[in-house]
C-alpha cells in the first residue's frame, strides 16, 4: 500500500508491503541507518524512534499504519540540535562503547529530557530500563542524562527572568 | 624499559604537559558518529546486486537428514538459489578444530552446512538466497526436510558413560579433551590438613548477546579473483586465512573489511559455519551475499559458554594457611569444537587459574571437555576466569566461615606477596608482577566495610538480609604464541602499526588490532600523538582492513593496548626520529637537540618553536629538491611487537559486592559494587573504568539472569530476549573503580589488558555476597544463575 508521512521534517511517499515494520522501512527504504534492529521483538530498544512525539519500538510498528504520521529518528533529532548537550555528555563520559544501542538510548533519554526534567538517577535508570546496552554497564549513560538535566535546570533558572524557554538547542 | 616520560614521572600534572596523552582521559574521537547515528555497521553496507541469505535451521537436537526438497522454495518470488551441505562441499573444505599443544584433543570435521546429520537445534542446514531477506525467509519456509530424529546427548554428566549416544561415532567417545595439572602431594596434604572445605559449583551456560548480531557480506569478483568480506569480526587477518584456506584461494585473494562493530566480547572471534557458507555462496555466484543473524539465530547459533560443573575442595591449616586445591571440572561444549581456537580453552583456563591469587603448595585440577547436542561453546569474555574465580573465592569464604576467621584476613595471609615476583603458580603460570596486597589495601580505602557491617546488623534485626562478598582474581592478557600459534593455528600473537606523516603535518596510523567499542582506536591515537608529538586531533587511525593494515591478530584476550599499543608507540617514536632527522638538516641543528611538541619542531633546551610540521611536510613532499641529496625523508615507519619473556602478561584485581536478598521472593538487589584492578600502565583512565564497569555488569548478568536453558531432548527454551534475561539499567548498581599500576617490563608502554577484569571477578563476588546474606539462615547457593527459585530452594521455601 501507499503511505505518505513526514520523516525528520521531510515528506516521503512510499509503497510498503503490509508486513514491513517501521525499522525496516527507515533502514531499507529510506536509508536512515542510524536506528538499529537489535531483537525485532520489542525488548532491546535499539530501534527506538519518535512517532507523533512519543517514543516507540520501530520493530513493533507497521509502516503501513503510519500514513500521515510524523516520525523522528536519531538523524533528525541530531540535526535539530535538541539533544546536542546530551550527546556531548555521552562523548565526554564515554557513555557509548560499541554504539549500537546508542541511537535508541539517546531517543529514550531525549524523552526523559522532554518530559521528566526532575528525574533522579533511580528514575533515569527506570526510564532507560527498556534499552539494552551490553557494553557500558549503564552507569555512564545514567550520569550523562543526569548531568544534562542538571545543566538544563541551571540554564532554566537563569532563563526564568527572561520569559519563555524553548526546547530548542541549548549548547 | 618503562622509561617513557609521563607527566607523573617528571612531576607534572597530566594537563600540564602538552602532548602527554598516555594516562589521560581523552574522549574517543569516534564517539560523535556513534551518538549521532552516523556509524557504519556491516548491515548498513549495501552493495550492487547483493543477495540476502536466510537459513533453514535444524528443529532437532540430533537428526539424520533423509531428504531436502527445495522446489517450492525456488518458486517463491525473489528467491534466486538454494544451497545444501552437499552443494557447498563441492567448493568448501571442512575443518577440524583442534590444536597440537592441547595433547590428545579430538573433534569431528565440520562443513559450512552439514552433509547428512544435524547435531544441534539451530544448526544451519539449508541456505536460501533471495533479493530480500524477507523473500529468503519465505523461501526457507517453503523447504521440506525429511528428518529422522536421533537420541540426543544433552547431559554432560552422562556424556562419557557406557551406552551413551556417541555424537561422532568415528571419534570413539564424547571426550574432546582432558588435562590434569598437579603439584605437590594433594592426597597426603589433604589427609593431614586441619580442615577441608568442599562444594560443587555450577556455572550456567550463557552467551554474549551482542546487540549487533553476527553480520557478514561476502563479495567475490571473478574479474580480479578477489573475495572481499565485510564482516563484524575481532580478527580480520585470521578470517582472511580461514576463508582462503577453506575456499581454496590464496590469502592474497581475500580481503576482510571490518568497519564499526556492535559489540563482540569473544562472540565475533570464531568461525561460524553459516558465515563460511555465505562466503562460499558468494564465491559460487560471483556476487555479494549478505547475512545478518536475527535474534533467534543469535541465541541458537552464536557460541555459548561457561557450561561447567566443578567439584572442588580446599585444605587449610588452623591458622588459615591454604594448603592446596583439588578440583574436578566438567564442561559440555556442544557437538563440535569451534574453529580455529577450539572449545577446549575454557576448561584449560580453569585448570590454569584456580587458586590464582594465592601461594600454596599442593594442587590438582582436572578438566574434562565433552560433546553434547547443544549449541557449540567457545571463548567468551574472560574465558574460564569467572569460573575459576568463583570456585576459588567461594572456597576461601567457606573456609573463613568454618575457621571463624575474617575472609579478608585469610586472603591476606595467603595472597602472593607483592615482592615475591617473578612467581610461578602451581599449575605453571608465570607472573611477572602482581599487586594483590596493594589492590586489597586500595579496595579497603574505597569500601566502607565497618559502616556496611553495621548496616548489615541493623537491617538483619528488622528482617532485611544483606551481604558483602569479595573476590580476588588474576587475569590473563597480552597472549604470546603460546596461546594458539604453537598449536598450529594461524592466529597472530604479534601486531604491527604503520605511522605516517602527511604533507599537512597530520598523522595517519594503521594497526592490526581492531575496534569493537573498547576504544582501541582512541588509545592508538593517544599513543601515536604522544609518541610523535602532535595534538591527538591530528591523528587518524585505520583498523579493520586486511589490505590496508599491518598483519596482526586483532582484538581479543585483552591484547589491544598491550600488543597493538606498543607497536603503535614504537612506530610513532621511529617516525619522530625520522622527522627530527629531516628537521635537523633543514634547521642546521643536531636532531637530538630538537623535539616535537604539539605539531611543532622545537628546540629541546629552550622549548622555542622552530618550525611547524606543516612546513616540514611542505618541503619534504613538494620541495624535496631543496633538501640534501642523500637525506632519508620517508615520513613513514612500521614497527611490530610481540611479547617474548612471558607467555602471558597476568593482571590482578579484587572486587566487592554489596547485595540484598529478599528471602520471601528470592530476588537479589544489587546495592553497590567496587573494583580495584591492576592492568599495568593505564593509557586512558576513562576508557579503562568504563571497560571494567561494562565487564562487571556482564559478569553480574551471567551470575543472576542469563541462562541458555535446554530441555532434556536438547530443545533450546530461551530464544527471545523475553526468555533470556540480560542486565538492564534499573537492576544494575553503581560501580566504583580504582587502580593500582604495575606496568609490564616487556614493553616501553607497560600496558596490560583491562577488558575482562570486571567479568572475571563479578560472579564470585556476587555469590559471596548472597551467601554472606544467607549464612545466618543456614542457606547457600552455588549454582549460577542465582535465580529466585534457586535461592528460595536453598532457603527451604520451595
Put simply, the answer to whether A106 touches B35 (Cβ < 8 Å) is yes
Facing residue for A139 by CB, picked from B41, B209, B693: B693
What is the tens place of the pLDDT at every residue in A108-145?
Answer: 999 999 999 999 999 999 999 999 999 999 999 999 99
CA separation for the pair A49, B472 (Å, rounded): 43
Count other Cβ atoms within 10 Å, centred on residue B460.
14
A29 found inside a domain: yes
- Same domain as A94, residue A64: no
Check if the beta carbon of residue B34 is closer than 8 Å to that of residue B111: no
Check if the beta carbon of residue B350 is closer than 8 Å to that of residue B316: no
CA separation for the pair B497, B575 (Å, rounded): 11
CATH class of the structural domain B18-31+494-641: alpha beta
C-alpha distance from residue B290 to each of B39, B54, B222, B281, B764 (Å) = 18, 9, 18, 10, 40
DSSP per-residue codes, B48-107 = TT-EEEEEEE-SSSSEEEEEEE-HHHHTSTTEEEEE-HHHHHTT---B----TTSTT---
* Shortest CA gap A19–chain B (Å): 9
CA separation for the pair B152, A106 (Å, rounded): 45
Mapping DSSP to helix (H, G, I), strand (E, B) and coil, where does residue B614 land?
helix
Mapping DSSP to helix (H, G, I), strand (E, B) and coil, where does residue A68 land?
coil
pTM above 0.90?
yes
Q: What is the CATH number of the domain that holds A127?
A: 1.10.150.120
DSSP per-residue codes, B50-61 = -EEEEEEE-SSS
Q: Which residue has the cell 519563555?
A: A164
Q: Is B690 part of the contact surface with chain A (CB cutoff 8 Å)? A: yes
* Cα nearest neighbour of B264 on chain A: A98
Count other Cβ atoms within 10 Å, centred on residue A18.
9
Q: What is the CATH number of the domain that holds A70?
A: 3.10.20.30
CA separation for the pair B132, B516 (Å, rounded): 27
Instruction: Tell me the angle at which helices A84-92 and A102-115 cross, rounded to the nearest 10 degrees.
Output: 130
- Same domain as A73, residue A107: no
Instruction: Tell me the angle at which helices B565-587 and B520-532 cross, rounded to the nearest 10 degrees.
Output: 30
Burial environment of residue B132 by CB neighbours within 10 A (0 to 12, 13 to 18, 19 or more): middle
Count other Cβ atoms within 10 Å, centred on residue A147.
17
pLDDT for position B767: 98
**Residue A71: which domain range?**
2-77
Residues of B in contact with A39 (CB under 8 A): 295, 720-721
User: Is there a cis peptide before residue B340, judged by omega within 30 degrees of 0?
Assistant: yes
CA separation for the pair B770, B781 (Å, rounded): 8
pLDDT for position B9: 53
Q: Is A136 part of the contact surface with chain B (CB cutoff 8 Å)? A: yes
Check if the beta carbon of residue B715 is closer than 8 Å to that of residue B121: yes
A169 found inside a domain: no
Which overall architecture, per CATH, does domain B429-475+648-798 show? 2-Layer Sandwich (3.30)
- Same domain as A40, residue A105: no
Check if the beta carbon of residue B727 is closer than 8 Å to that of residue B534: no
Residues of B in contact with A90 (CB under 8 A): 31, 35
A167 found inside a domain: no
pLDDT for position B4: 56
Q: Which of B148, B149, B145, B147 is nearest to B71 (CA)?
A: B145
A171 found inside a domain: no
A162 found inside a domain: no
The full set of domain ranges for chain B reads 18-31+494-641, 429-475+648-798
Instruction: Tell me the angle at which helices B685-704 and B757-774 cross, rounded to the nearest 10 degrees.
Output: 50
Q: Which of B670, B582, B667 is nearest to B618 (CA)?
A: B582
Torsion angle of C-alpha atoms B86, B88, B90, B93, degrees rounded to 10: -110
Residues 6 or more apart whose CB falls under 8 angstroms from that of B412 comprise: B437, B440
Put simply, the answer to whether B211 touches A138 (Cβ < 8 Å) is no
Count other Cβ atoms within 10 Å, centred on residue B786.
25
What is the tens place of the pLDDT at every residue in B480-490?
Answer: 999 999 999 99
pLDDT at A96 over 60: yes
The grid coordinates of residue B280 equal 562460499
CA separation for the pair B596, A106 (Å, rounded): 40
What total of structural domains would you count in chain A? Answer: 2
- Same domain as A54, residue A95: no
* Shortest CA gap A163–chain B (Å): 31
Check if the beta carbon of residue A132 is closer than 8 Å to that of residue B721: yes
* Shortest CA gap B356–chain A (Å): 26
Alpha helices per DSSP H over A11-73: 22-24
What is the tens place of the pLDDT at every residue in A19-44?
Answer: 999 999 999 999 999 999 999 999 99
Calculate what percentage of chain B has a pLDDT beyond 90.
97
A166 found inside a domain: no
The strand pairing partners of B637, in sequence order, are: B499
- The answer to whether the B18-31+494-641 and B429-475+648-798 domains have the same CATH topology is yes
- Same domain as A71, residue A100: no
pLDDT at A169 over 70: no
Q: Which of A31, A47, A77 is at the close of a domain?
A: A77
Quote the mean pLDDT of chain B.
96
CA separation for the pair A45, B89 (Å, rounded): 40
Q: Which of B340, B382, B468, B427 is nearest to B696 (CA)?
A: B382
A25 found inside a domain: yes
Which parts of chain B register pLDDT below 50? 1-2, 7, 10-16
CA separation for the pair B152, B164 (Å, rounded): 9
- Same domain as A120, residue A61: no
CA separation for the pair B671, B773 (Å, rounded): 13
Q: Which of B243, B272, B270, B245 is nearest to B113 (CA)?
A: B272
Q: Which of A55, A77, A99 is at the close of a domain?
A: A77
CA separation for the pair B482, B536 (Å, rounded): 35
N-term to C-term CA, chain A: 42
pLDDT for position B10: 45
Check if the beta carbon of residue B42 is closer than 8 Å to that of residue B232: yes
- Same domain as A106, residue A70: no
- Same domain as A148, residue A111: yes
Torsion angle of C-alpha atoms B436, B439, B445, B450, degrees rounded to 10: -40
N-term to C-term CA, chain B: 60
pLDDT for position B7: 47
β-strands B289-292, A70-72: how paired?
A: unpaired
Residues of B in contact with A92 (CB under 8 A): 27
CA separation for the pair B768, B468 (Å, rounded): 7
Q: Is B29 part of the contact surface with chain A (CB cutoff 8 Å)? A: no
* Cα nearest neighbour of A128 on chain B: B729
User: Is there a cis peptide before residue B759, judged by omega within 30 degrees of 0?
Assistant: no
Q: ipTM of this complex > 0.85? A: yes
C-alpha distance from residue B774 to each of B391, B612, B684, B706, B719 (Å) = 18, 67, 39, 22, 32
Backbone angles phi, psi at B45, to 5 degrees: -85, 130
pLDDT for position B18: 62
Q: Considering only residues 295 to 334 of chain B, which have any Cβ-Cβ distance to chain A shorter than 8 Å?
A: 295
DSSP per-residue codes, B301-315 = HS-EE--EEEEEEEE
pLDDT for position A157: 81
pLDDT for position B6: 53
Position A170 confidence tier, pLDDT thresholds 50, 70, 90: very low
Residues of A in contact with B720 (CB under 8 A): 39, 41, 43
Residues 6 or more apart whose CB falls under 8 angstroms from that of B97 comprise: B107, B110, B336, B337, B338, B339, B340, B341, B342, B343
Q: Mutation test of the interface with chain B: which of A58, A135, A141, A169, choosing the one with the most B Cβ atoms within 10 A?
A: A135
Count other Cβ atoms within 10 Å, centred on residue B344.
28
- Same domain as A128, residue A102: yes
The strand pairing partners of B177, in sequence order, are: B369
Put simply, the answer to whether A129 touches B729 (Cβ < 8 Å) is yes
- Same domain as A53, residue A6: yes
The grid coordinates of residue B605 equal 633546551
User: Is there a cis peptide before residue B182, judged by omega within 30 degrees of 0?
Assistant: no
Amino acid at each position: 500500500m501507499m503511505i505518505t508521512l513526514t520523516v525528520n521534517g521531510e515528506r516521503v511517499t512510499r509503497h510498503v508491503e503490509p508486513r514491513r515494520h517501521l525499522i525496516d522501512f527507515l533502514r531499507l527504504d529510506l536509508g536512515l541507518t542510524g536506528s538499529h534492529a537489535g531483537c525485532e521483538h520489542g525488548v532491546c530498544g535499539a530501534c527506538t524512534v519518535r512517532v507523533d512525539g512519543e517514543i516507540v519500538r520501530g520493530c513493533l510498528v507497521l509502516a503501513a499504519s503510519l500514513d500521515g504520521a510524523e516520525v523522528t529518528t536519531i538523524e533528525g533529532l541530531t540535526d535539530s540540535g535538541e539533544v546536542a548537550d546530551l550527546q556531548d555528555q555521552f562523548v565526554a563520559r564515554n557513555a557509548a562503547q560499541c554504539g549500537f544501542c546508542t541511537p535508541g538510548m539517546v531517543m529514550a533519554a531525549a524523552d526523559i529530557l522532554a518530559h521528566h526534567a526532575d528525574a533522579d538517577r533511580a528514575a533515569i535508570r527506570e526510564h532507560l530500563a527498556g534499552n539494552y546496552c551490553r557494553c557500558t554497564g549503564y552507569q555512564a549513560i545514567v550520569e550523562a542524562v543526569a548531568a544534562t538535566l542538571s545543566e538544563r535546570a541551571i540554564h532554566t533558572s537563569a532563563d526564568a527572568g527572561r520569559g519563555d524557554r524553548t526546547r530548542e538547542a541549548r549548547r | 624499559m618503562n622509561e617513557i616520560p609521563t607527566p607523573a614521572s617528571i612531576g607534572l600534572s597530566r594537563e600540564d604537559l602538552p602532548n602527554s596523552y598516555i594516562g589521560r582521559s581523552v574522549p574517543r574521537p569516534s564517539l560523535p558518529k556513534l551518538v549521532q547515528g552516523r556509524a557504519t555497521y556491516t548491515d548498513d553496507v549495501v552493495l550492487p546486486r547483493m543477495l540476502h541469505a536466510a537459513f533453514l535451521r535444524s528443529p532437532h537436537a540430533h537428526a539424520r537428514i533423509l531428504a531436502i526438497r527445495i522446489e517450492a522454495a525456488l518458486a517463491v518470488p525473489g528467491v534466486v538459489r538454494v544451497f545444501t551441505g552437499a552443494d557447498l562441499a563441492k567448493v568448501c573444505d571442512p575443518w577440524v578444530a583442534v590444536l597440537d599443544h592441547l595433547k590428545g584433543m579430538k573433534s569431528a570435521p565440520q562443513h559450512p552446512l552439514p552433509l547428512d546429520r544435524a547435531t544441534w537445534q539451530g544448526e544451519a542446514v539449508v541456505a536460501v538466497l533471495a533479493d530480500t531477506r524477507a523473500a529468503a525467509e519465505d523461501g526457507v519456509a517453503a523447504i521440506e526436510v525429511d528428518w529422522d530424529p536421533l537420541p540426543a546427548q544433552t547431559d554432560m554428566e552422562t556424556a562419557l558413560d557406557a551406552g551413551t549416544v556417541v555424537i561422532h561415532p568415528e571419534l570413539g567417545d564424547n571426550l574432546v579433551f582432558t588435562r590434569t595439572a598437579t603439584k605437590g602431594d594433594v592426597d597426603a596434604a589433604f589427609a593431614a590438613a586441619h580442615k577441608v572445605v568442599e562444594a560443587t559449583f555450577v556455572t550456567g551456560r550463557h552467551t554474549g548477546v551482542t546487540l549487533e548480531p553476527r553480520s557478514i557480506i561476502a563479495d567475490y569478483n571473478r574479474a580480479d579473483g578477489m573475495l572481499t568480506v565485510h564482516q563484524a569480526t575481532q580478527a580480520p587477518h585470521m578470517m582472511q586465512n580461514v576463508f582462503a584456506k577453506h575456499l581454496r584461494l590464496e590469502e592474497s585473494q581475500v580481503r576482510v573489511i571490518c568497519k564499526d562493530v556492535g559489540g563482540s566480547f569473544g562472540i565475533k572471534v570464531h568461525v561460524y559455519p553459516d558465515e563460511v557458507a555465505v562466503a562460499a555462496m558468494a564465491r559460487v555466484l560471483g556476487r555479494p551475499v549478505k547475512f545478518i543473524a536475527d535474534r533467534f539465530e543469535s541465541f541458537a547459533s552464536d557460541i555459548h559458554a561457561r557450561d561447567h560443573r566443578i567439584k572442588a575442595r580446599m585444605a587449610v591449616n588452623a591458622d588459615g594457611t591454604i594448603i592446596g586445591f583439588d578440583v574436578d571440572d566438567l564442561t559440555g561444549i556442544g557437538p563440535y569444537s569451534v574453529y580455529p581456537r577450539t572449545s577446549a580453552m575454557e576448561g584449560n583456563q580453569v585448570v590454569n587459574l584456580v587458586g590464582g591469587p594465592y601461594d600454596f603448595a599442593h594442587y590438582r585440577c582436572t578438566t574434562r571437555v565433552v560433546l553434547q547436542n547443544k549449541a557449540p561453546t567457545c571463548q567468551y569474555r574472560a574465558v574460564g576466569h569467572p569460573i575459576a574465580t568463583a570456585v576459588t573465592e567461594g572456597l576461601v569464604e567457606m573456609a573463613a566461615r568454618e575457621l571463624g576467621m575474617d575472609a579478608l584476613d585469610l586472603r591476606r595471609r595467603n595472597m602472593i606477596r607483592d615482592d615475591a615476583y617473578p612467581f610461578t603458580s602451581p599449575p605453571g603460570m608465570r607472573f611477572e608482577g602482581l599487586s594483590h596486597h596493594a589492590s586489597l589495601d586500595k579496595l579497603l580505602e574505597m569500601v566502607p566495610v565497618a559502616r556496611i557491617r553495621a548496616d548489615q546488623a541493623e537491617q538483619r534485626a528488622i528482617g532485611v538480609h544483606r551481604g558483602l562478598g569479595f573476590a580476588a582474581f588474576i587475569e590473563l592478557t597480552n597472549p604470546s604464541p603460546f596461546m594458539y600459534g604453537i598449536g598450529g593455528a594461524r592466529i597472530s600473537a604479534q601486531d604491527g602499526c604503520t605511522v605516517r606523516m602527511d604533507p599537512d603535518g597530520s598523522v595517519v596510523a594503521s594497526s592490526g588490532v581492531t575496534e569493537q567499542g573498547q576504544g582501541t582506536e582512541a588509545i592508538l591515537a593517544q599513543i601515536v600523538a604522544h609518541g610523535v608529538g602532535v595534538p591527538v586531533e591530528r591523528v587518524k587511525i585505520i583498523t579493520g582492513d586486511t589490505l590496508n593494515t599491518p598483519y596482526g591478530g586483532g582484538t581479543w584476550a585483552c591484547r589491544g593496548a598491550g600488543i597493538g599499543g606498543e607497536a603503535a608507540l614504537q612506530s610513532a617514536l621511529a617516525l619522530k626520529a625520522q622527522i627530527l632527522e629531516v628537521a635537523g638538516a633543514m634547521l642546521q641543528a643536531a636532531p637530538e637537540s630538537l623535539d616535537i611538541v604539539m605539531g611543532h619542531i622545537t628546540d629541546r633546551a629552550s622549548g622555542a618553536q622552530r618550525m611547524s610540521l606543516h612546513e616540514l611536510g611542505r618541503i619534504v613532499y613538494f620541495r624535496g629538491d631543496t633538501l640534501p641529496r642523500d637525506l632519508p625523508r620517508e615520513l613513514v615507519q612500521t614497527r611490530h611487537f610481540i611479547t617474548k619473556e612471558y607467555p602471558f602478561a597476568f593482571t590482578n584485581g579484587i572486587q566487592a559486592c554489596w547485595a540484598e536478598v529478599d528471602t520471601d521472593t528470592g530476588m537479589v538487589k544489587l546495592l553497590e559494587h567496587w573494583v580495584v584492578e591492576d592492568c599495568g600502565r593505564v593509557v586512558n583512565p576513562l576508557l579503562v573504568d568504563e571497560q571494567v564497569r561494562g565487564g562487571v555488569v556482564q559478569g553480574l548478568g551471567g551470575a543472576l539472569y542469563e541462562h541458555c536453558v535446554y530441555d532434556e531432548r536438547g530443545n533450546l527454551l530461551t530464544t527471545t530476549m523475553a526468555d533470556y534475561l540480560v542486565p538492564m539499567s534499573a537492576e544494575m548498581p553503581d560501580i566504583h573503580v580504582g587502580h593500582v599500576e604495575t606496568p609490564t617490563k616487556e614493553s616501553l608502554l607497560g600496558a596490560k589488558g583491562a577488558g575482562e577484569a570486571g567479568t572475571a571477578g563479578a560472579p564470585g563476588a556476587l555469590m559471596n555476597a548472597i551467601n554472606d546474606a544467607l549464612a545466618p539462615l543456614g542457606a547457600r547457593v552455588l549454582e549460577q544463575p542465582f535465580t529466585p527459585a534457586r535461592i528460595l530452594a536453598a532457603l527451604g521455601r520451595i
